């Protein structure tokens, strides 16, 4: 048995997230169906993260096992020939049998893109959240800096999360101005359900002056989701980098 690790990118707009579920098509399902078309059976494909419906990925890793040895380029070309155009396999390599794309990951970086134009761009509206009001980016960056370190992020997650341990370490969180966009980058050892989108929504409320820039410490102590900002829309979120 040979274990393969592939790096993929996908536009998550038309998918109900990564993981197979009964109420809609997912990225994992598309990959497994494509493998069945190629290899005659559908191996279990394990992803590095459980992205939400509508979330995108520039860098997403997943692994699977095949009995036969297939050249890496053959896996890439074969899968890309049957996958839909909004999912692409970028890289492939054989890894050790005990490698796990999720549990072996050391760091993940997410990007949230905010479009500041006063008229929406039809060519980017699937990949950014438009907000054209005034924002204090300095206060937003101050708030982001207070998230760094090891904290209990329960108050920055949705109630229907599937894990009990809500302590995570954020190594970096900042906002950069890139032309018409504000880009929030956050790197951590793991993220809770909706955590990045809630962080972004809170940063936006801080930028508007509706939430104090020191709110993070209160949320860490009280674990009160209601005092954080709204959950930002999925379409602006990208899994940017996974480090092993």
Looking at 11, 14, 44, 52, which residue is catalytic? 52
Q: Kindly state the tokens that stand for 58.
A: 């520039």
Helices 72-82 + 27-39 axis angle, to 10:
110
Mapped onto helix, strand or coil, the DSSP state of residue 89 is strand
Cα R_g (the chain), whole angstroms: 19
Based on the residue annotation, tell me whether 52 is a catalytic residue of this protein: yes
For the chain, percent helix, then strand, then coil, each to nearest 5? Answer: 25, 30, 45
Strand partners, 56: 238
Neighbouring C-alpha atoms within 13 Å toward the C-beta of 192: 25
Task: Please identify every residue annotated as catalytic.
Answer: 52
């Amino acid at each position: 048995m040979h274990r393969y690790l592939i790096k993929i990118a996908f536009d998550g707009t038309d998918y109900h997230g990564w993981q197979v579920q009964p109420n809609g098509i997912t990225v994992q399902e598309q990959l497994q169906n494509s493998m069945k078309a190629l290899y005659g059976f559908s191996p279990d494909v394990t992803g590095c993260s459980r992205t939400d419906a509508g979330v995108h990925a520039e860098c997403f890793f997943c692994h699977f096992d095949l009995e036969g040895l297939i050249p890496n380029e053959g896996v890439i070309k074969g899968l890309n020939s049957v996958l839909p155009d909004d999912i692409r396999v970028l890289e492939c390599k054989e890894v050790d049998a005990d490698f796990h794309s999720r549990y072996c990951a050391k760091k993940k970086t997410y990007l949230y893109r905010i479009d500041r134009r006063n008229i929406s761009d039809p060519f980017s509206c699937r990949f950014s959240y438009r907000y054209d009001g005034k924002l204090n980016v300095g206060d937003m960056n101050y708030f982001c800096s207070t998230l760094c370190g090891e904290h209990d992020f329960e108050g920055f997650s949705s109630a229907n999360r599937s894990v009990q341990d809500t302590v995570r370490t954020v190594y970096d969180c900042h906002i950069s101005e890139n032309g018409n966009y504000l880009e929030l980058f956050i790197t951590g050892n793991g993220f809770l359900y909706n955590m990045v989108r809630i962080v972004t929504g809170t940063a936006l409320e801080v930028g508007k002056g509706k939430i104090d820039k020191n709110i993070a410490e209160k949320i860490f102590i009280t674990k009160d989701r209601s005092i954080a900002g709204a959950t930002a829309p999925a379409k602006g979120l990208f899994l940017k980098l996974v480090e092993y």
